[in-house]
Structure 1
Amino acid sequence: MKNPRDIIKRPVITERTSEFMEQQKYVFEVDLRSNKTEIKQAIEQIFKVKVVSVNTLRMPAKPKRYGKHSGYTSEWKKAIVQLSADSKPLEYFEASV
């Protein structure tokens, strides 16, 4: 198996994903080649929690311009991870305001 930290790249924190956190759902950017089983095992290993389900989406490249130069952003993969009801919340997402 790959290193779990190579599979999970970073958390995705937006207003919508903040609402997901109330339902024990967390969103991560993951490696394009990873599958749901690898993502589940990586989350369970890194955070020591029980994962119920994993949903994945491939986010397409978007056209961008900078002056007269045009190109595309990178394509990336997003995973929405549902934790079990008895799991503790992930401390990575807890912000001290």
Structure 2
Amino acid sequence: MSTLKFSEERLMKVLLAPQISEKATFVAEKNEQVIFRVATDATKPEVKAAVEMMFKVTVDSVQIANVKGKQKRFGRFMGRRNDWKKAYVCLTPGQEINFAVGEQG
């Protein structure tokens, strides 16, 4: 595990939320990847270490994309949403992260 380089406190702040959308579920099924919304200053090694620490899985690779915030109108003023960062986390074959919360089977 590569969690020795980073403090546990920092790793807890790197992952903000799983990105759950149609595209994200399609990517998850096809490529065995999971998409996370991450801190804007997060690096690939930090994301890898955070996912391995939190979910007890082995991460194969990480791709990161910067997402530009959308232009939005607030009455007669134009505003802008914040930019954010998302990470495509590729898990080693056979591993998965299950986000099912509160579902009874």
Q: State the TM-score, normalizing by the size of structure 1.
A: 0.89
1:68 is aligned to 2:59: no
Query: In the TM superposition, what whole-angstrom CA distance separates every residue of 1:26-81 from its partner, at most 9, and x where no partner exists?
Result: 10010111100000000000000010010001111221102212210001001000
Give percent identity, aligned residues only. Answer: 29
- Measured in 1, the distance between the counterparts of 2:98 and 2:63 equals 21
Query: How many residues are matched?
Result: 95
Q: State the TM-score, normalizing by the size of structure 2.
A: 0.83
1:39 is aligned to 2:29: no
Segments of 5+ residues of structure 2 without an aligned counterpart are 1-5
| Number of the residue aligned with 2:3 | none
Segments of 5+ residues of structure 1 without an aligned counterpart are none
Correspondence 1:8-19 to 2 at 5 A: 8-19=15-26
Displacement after TM superposition at 1:86 (Å):
2.7
